[in-house]
Amino acid sequence: MNISFSKIILLALTLACSSQPILAKNKVWTIDKEKSRVQFITKRGPNTPAVGTFQNIKGAISYDGKNPETAQVNATIDTRTMSTGVNVRDEDVKSPRYLNCIKFPSASFCSQKIKKNKEGKYTITGEFNLHGVKKIVDLNMEMPKITGKTLSAVATTRLDQRDYKLNFKAMHPDGVIRIDDVILIKILIWAR
């Protein structure tokens, strides 16, 4: 049996943050940190979107390929990789004035339960830790796809930055730059 040390560590992390047992038939998929990303979209004015990404997503997904309700998800996001494509803005947002990536270099998510919703999609409920604050959040996801040796999944949610003690308005009290409090999050995961 050829199991890498990193897969053993990822499985241990998944077990540690899980509230439901992992079924023996579930395969442990390692998140591809090169391809996976978290996108955020908000407004920085009446009609002007602000878009950015986080990369270097690490973690594991335990999934049998058929029953999302039995899956487990554990992921860590490197907040230092945040990019909007404008270096000055990126450094400002990463600074202690907002994300404080020196003190909080990562965010994490650990699933607690997954259930099918009324639309035929899945709701992943789990603990999200950002900026030193832990909150229970729901991710909305379609059925994950397995192609060959690759699992792919897309999930979305909305986060209110105030829930995580973040306040972009405090960075720009003059109101010249405004960001909506609620931010749309889109998660694109590839795993092997």
Q: What is the pLDDT of residues 65-121, one digit of tens each?
A: 899 999 999 999 999 999 999 898 899 889 998 899 999 999 999 999 999 998 889
**DSSP assignment, residue 176?**
S
Binned at pLDDT 50, 70 and 90, residue 172 comes out as low
Helix/strand/coil for 70: helix
Mean pLDDT value across residues 154-165: 96
Q: Please give the backbone phi and psi of residue 109, each rounded to the nearest 5 degrees, phi first.
A: -135, 130
Tell me the CA distances in angstroms from 134 to 19, 96, 146, one per residue in order.
16, 19, 31
Domains in the chain (CATH in brackets) are 5-191 (2.40.128.110)
Cα–Cα nearest to 134, from 14, 17, 7, 3: 17
Which residues of the chain form beta strands (DSSP E)? Answer: 27-30, 37-43, 49-54, 57-63, 72-78, 106-116, 122-130, 133-141, 145-147, 150-160, 182-191
Per-residue pLDDT of 8-60, as tens digits, reads 444 444 444 544 444 457 899 999 999 999 999 987 767 778 899 999 999 99
Binned at pLDDT 50, 70 and 90, residue 176 comes out as low
Residue 166, pLDDT above cutoff 50? yes
What is this structure's pTM? Answer: 0.84
The pLDDT of residue 177: 63
